[in-house]
Amino acid sequence: MAEGHGDHHHHHHGEERLIRLEQDILSKNNEYAAANRRWLSERNILALNLLSSPGSGKTTLLTRTIEALRGKLPITVIEGDQQTDNDAQKIRQTGAAVQQINTGKGCHLDGHMVGHALESLQPPSGSLLFIENVGNLVCPAAFDLGEAYRVVILSVTEGEDKPIKYPDIFASADLLLLNKLDLLPHLQFDVEQCIDYARRVNPRIKVLQLSATSGEGMDSWYQWLSATRQLAEIGQ
């Protein structure tokens, strides 16, 4: 190769130099997320990014929510899992449209994957879209998907100190659902302490206590969903 061939910067090959980039590593993901957000808002779709550890009861919460809101609000689901479509099948049985994303070894969903899922799923205008992220309280925190709100689900069978053990995910969440409340009598889980920890990390976080199995507290969750959807509509 000729030295400096057509290169208006006239840099000779083999010559070392410093290039200042000052570029956000997540900028590409953020571009995909922004495109998703635009696409969703044009169609007046409320998208929620659901985050939790494995086994927090996310899928039960989703199936119960879909059944409770049937006929009131169209709901579609993007289901992220490393392997299998077991959860997607459970949700499909409720009649809701589901798009599965198998991330393989990937520990989180990203904006690009969700963009493709939206194209296949084609959620209807004015609907509610649940994006069930991979069960993991660390990695998904960094990746914006284009959602309107982030919802963390924590079950009382886990430690009450999870909000301070995994502060990044709680800091970025809008709503905390404290699930499996029906098991509380059998456990030593300090609800007040857990909420206090969550508020130390994120003073704005809203907390709802519920049980997707017994149905206790689920009405306040449905109210939050419908109020949030109305707010989103007014915001258009």
Kindly list the residues in this chain that would bind another protein in the complex (CB under 8 A): 7, 9, 11, 13-29, 105-108, 110, 138-139, 141-143, 163-164, 167-168, 171, 197, 199-201, 203
C-beta of 160: minimal distance to another protein in Å? 13
Q: Which helix (H) or strand (E) holds 62?
A: helix 58-68
C-beta of 150: minimal distance to another protein in Å? 14
C-beta of 175: minimal distance to another protein in Å? 18
Q: How far is CA 140 from CA 38, 107, 128, 150, 155, in A?
A: 21, 7, 21, 11, 18
C-beta of 80: minimal distance to another protein in Å? 13
Give 7 or 119: the residue with its C-beta nearer to another protein. 7
Give the pair of three-digit tokens for residue 153. Answer: 């689900």
Give 164 or 184: the residue with its C-beta nearer to another protein. 164
Give 161 or 219: the residue with its C-beta nearer to another protein. 161
C-beta of 25: minimal distance to another protein in Å? 5
Q: Using alpha carbons only, give the angle 214, 50, 111 rounded to the nearest 5 degrees.
A: 160
The 10 Å CB-count burial string (b at 16+, else e) for 37-58 is bebbbeeebbbbbbbbbeebbb
Give 17 or 186: the residue with its C-beta nearer to another protein. 17
C-beta of 192: minimal distance to another protein in Å? 15
Report the distance separating Cα 199 and Cα 53, nearest Å: 19
Give the pair of three-digit tokens for residue 89. Answer: 């099948």
* Residue 82 CA, distance from chain mean position: 15
Give 98 or 194: the residue with its C-beta nearer to another protein. 194
CA atoms within 13 A on the CB side of 7: 10
Q: How far is CA 52 from CA 4, 73, 136, 150, 230, in A?
A: 53, 24, 6, 11, 26
Give 203 or 235: the residue with its C-beta nearer to another protein. 203
* Phi, psi (degrees; rounded to nearest 5) at 141: -60, -35
